[in-house]
Amino acid sequence: MANKDELIELIELVVDDVYGELDVPSVAGRDQWRATVVRTAADLRAMVLRHPWIAPELSQVGLVHIGPNALRTASGLLARFEAAGFPPDETERALGTLMANVVGIAI
């Protein structure tokens, strides 16, 4: 490792690789959004339990430099909240709340 920035980039890549383990369901109708969000939340919790080192990294790295796998997960969950009829200004808040609660419970 040449410097701290390279280490941070490597950690971000590894975190995104772990996000690749999640299978976010494709489009779900308004009546199916809750089931798909619950399943994704359970999968996220299982991911954190399989990789206990990731929780502190998520608080450090967060999704500031979001990679393709984390972006796919976030986009998929946002689509679920939109399908449920959440107002646009509440979808990101719902996503953040879900992620924080699931990771917090897993810790």
Global confidence as pTM: 0.84
Q: Sign of the CA dihedral 35, 80, 92, 6?
A: positive
Give the pLDDT confidence of 5-55 residue by residue, as tens digits: 888 888 888 889 999 999 877 766 778 888 889 999 999 999 999 999 988
The pLDDT value recorded for residue 1 is: 56
Give the pLDDT confidence of 79-96 residue by residue, as tens digits: 999 989 999 889 999 999
Give the pLDDT confidence of 50-71 residue by residue, as tens digits: 999 988 877 665 555 578 998 8
The pLDDT value recorded for residue 38 is: 92
Residues 101 and 44: beta-carbon distance below 8 Å: no
